[in-house]
Amino acid sequence: MLTRTPAPETKASALIGLMYDRLKTIGWDARSLNIFLIRIVFCLFADDTGIFINPKLFFNYVKEKTALDGSDLAIHLNRIFTMLNTPVDQRPTNGDGALNQFPALALPLFEERLVYTACDSGVRTLLLQCGTLRWSAISPAIFGSLFQQVMHPAERRTSGAHYTSEETILKVLRPLCLDRLYQTFHAICCAPSALKTQRLRAFQHALTTITFLDPACGCGNFLLVSYRELRKLEITVLKALLKEGQTPAVTATVTAAQCYGIELEELPAQIARAALGLIDYGMQRTVAKILGTSGAFAPSRPSPRIIQGNALTMDWEHVVSKKTLTYIVGNPPFLGKKEQSSAQKADIKRLFHQTKGRGVLDYVTGWYKKAAEYIQGTDITVSFVSTNSICQGEQVSVLWKELMEQYGIKIHFAHQAFLWTNETKKRAAVWCIIVGFSACEQREKKLFVYTDLKAKPRERSVTQINAYLTDTGNIFIPKRKKPIAPVPEMFFGNMPADGGNLLFTLKEKIAFLEEEPAAAQYIKPLISAREFLNNSERFCLWLKDVELHALKQYPALYRRIETVRALREHSSRPRLAAFPHLFAQITQPAGKPFLLIPSTSSSTRTYIPIALFSAGYIAHNSCHIIPEAGLYEFGILTSAMHNAWVRAVCGRLGNGYRYSKDIVYNNFPWPVPVGTQRASIENAAQEIITVRNQYPHSPLTILYNPLTMPPDLVRVHRILDKAVEHSYARPFKNDNERIAYLFNRYQNVTGE
């Protein structure tokens, strides 16, 4: 049986985690411990990547100079850290020869003198085990995710969901600047030889003027990759200059001082500075090898500027002048309106104090607003990774309408929704977008389209990108109380607000009727989204139009009602206690059939499952209902056209779509069928119902799972899709064509 060898970063994380636990048990204070471990990990990287020049300098020093019991380990490590911060010409002439071999790195990481607690043999053993790992095989870009696992034991299994993968960062950087920079470089290389050297030097100088700001930098992943890619390009330029015979005048000029960051917490800021230092020194080694120069590095290399503070209350001009900034990048916090702390809600309220509807905004929108204000009068381009909720649902008309109309923001490139991953073992399932924008117009724009949420993107050149990340004109879908088309109104289902006392499972219903058989007339089947999608049963006491006093003749029933009364008296809506036998909100059409749509549905489904119900059923408030809707409404709403509209404009709840009557249904541009088109839609809709009825024991979660959807159900849905699209005048190749058409039709219908 083959066993898989753990990746170096997995081993490193495990060993550093054990060291963290051991030092914490010994009694180290949290701050000293955190910085101490960052320094150790830096030295382990430096020891194995040539930064310390002499191979295994750090490892051999610890092994040979420290006592086996680890009693003097902290003292020796402190000496190493001090030496790394001491210029060579300021070191004692009679100092330890082994210590003097450590280079003077002059990094902020080693400036502060910490109060060290003792170590022990266990810590020493773990440190030596760390020294045997191949740290050169570990990218410094995962520095932050490694420490997330180490310093938050409860999160080590989930591995931290806030560190963006290099793949995603490059999705930002390539359309933002890298593609264009490499195109310029290749064009220079094709120039006549007499001009090539001059242009290469001018291009190299231009690279030194490119600056990045990450205003939510965390442990620095974005800045690390941005700086590394800039240095890699400069190295490519240096190689081209060498080919032109420019040695020894060739030298590297790009520095980490071109990177700026803002981070709320001290520890991630320290990690970002350390990781950028590793990248910087690693790149210097690469340049030294190419140029054939000494491996010693200048001790006064400019450092990145990482500022600790709240980016949403800070003036970014105090971090970097917008006159010198080129790009703003990052992955600001993913926090919905319900997840925000009171302080975070206050940040959003302060930033959007004049914005109507600001209460629906995600926390990340604060960075969009700050960036839009900051870049006024400049050609700075911004690109953020964000949850796709800010480009769907009710947030669009709140956020983007203000950004585009008040600040003149133009979207230059965007990635439609994709599955976001990080650099950790257990990857978070978050659906994200990337939006690149500025306050300047740009003729050609790039839209990256995903055929499904896990596919590789297809790049499209377009002339416009709107806030829904489609290639149509600016459009903002508002909340509406009534449909824009002459169709039946949609309502929420009925809300119990009863603490479960008016509801029954099948088992509870049977037990209740054994005690109170005469109450059977008041029990009706209840359809919530869960029961509907999973083909399960639930029931409720439906006492509409029944006088409360008449129910006293049913003791078991009345006890439930009195329990509801007590709960409501102590709730936020005590007035409901006057009607303890009724649902808190009743929308059920009396004696009428209805069409039911679950309020949330998995985004992996091609079609949101919906159904027609007879008058005997009660709809739960986890669903939407359309009274007296028939096969035609069923056909339109279960079609690919309507589902494309849902994916484009509705909000999200986790990994699911959150259907909205005010945003989705009331704004949906219905077709105007002619001739036999309506009959074709109704016939195809009936075929879907007929096929579904052939699988009475298969829940809709199975029937509409793309991996298990029966072929005959797929076939009849496609027939329906064609019938619906003919009523819109033509067939469509994909959802992007459908959305472009529906947005244009929406504008024609509404005149907006």
Per-residue pLDDT tens over the stretch 475-518: 899 899 999 999 999 999 999 999 999 999 999 999 999 999 99
Q: How many structural domains does the chain have?
A: 5
Helix 640-649, helix 711-727: angle, nearest 10: 80
Q: 466 and 391: one domain? A: yes
Instruction: Tell me how far apart the alpha carbons of residues 34 and 17 are, in angstroms, rounded to a whole number.
Output: 11
* Per-residue pLDDT at 29: 85
**Does residue 320 lie in a domain region?**
no
φ, ψ of residue 132 to 5 degrees: the values are: -90, -10
Q: 246 and 373: one domain? A: no
Q: 467 and 483: one domain? A: no
Q: Which residues in the chain show pLDDT less than 50? A: 1-5, 153-161, 296, 298-299, 424-427
Q: 751 and 741: one domain? A: yes
**Does residue 433 lie in a domain region?**
yes
Half-sphere exposure at residue 272, Cβ-oriented, CA atoms within 13 angstroms: 34
Instruction: Tell me how far apart the alpha carbons of residues 28 and 118 are, in angstroms, rounded to a whole number.
Output: 8
* Per-residue pLDDT at 332: 93
Domain limit, last residue, from 138, 171, 193: 138
* Per-residue pLDDT at 147: 67
* Per-residue pLDDT at 709: 95
- Helix (H), strand (E) at residue 600: strand 600-602
Q: 377 and 439: one domain? A: yes
Domain that holds residue 549: 500-522+539-584
* Per-residue pLDDT at 422: 56
**Does residue 361 lie in a domain region?**
yes
**Does residue 3 lie in a domain region?**
no
Torsion sign, CA atoms 49, 50, 56, 58 = negative
**Does residue 693 lie in a domain region?**
yes
Q: 590 and 734: one domain? A: yes
Q: 598 and 491: one domain? A: yes
**Does residue 324 lie in a domain region?**
no
**Does residue 533 lie in a domain region?**
no
Specify the residue for token string 């000293």. Answer: 32
* Per-residue pLDDT at 654: 59
CB-based contacts of 561, cutoff 8 Å, min separation 6: 501, 548, 551, 580, 581
* pTM (two decimals): 0.84
Instruction: Tell me how far apart the alpha carbons of residues 267 and 188 are, in angstroms, rounded to a whole number.
Output: 43
Instruction: Tell me how far apart the alpha carbons of residues 751 and 370 are, in angstroms, rounded to a whole number.
Output: 32
Q: 745 and 609: one domain? A: yes
Q: 366 and 257: one domain? A: no
Q: 599 and 676: one domain? A: yes
Specify the residue for token string 């020894």. Answer: 248
Dihedral of CA atoms 148, 152, 157, 161 in degrees, nearest 10, equals: -40
Q: 486 and 471: one domain? A: no
* Per-residue pLDDT at 623: 95
Residue 84, both tokens:
């790394």
* Per-residue pLDDT at 653: 63
Q: 357 and 446: one domain? A: yes
Domain limit, last residue, from 104, 138, 172: 138
**Does residue 169 lie in a domain region?**
yes
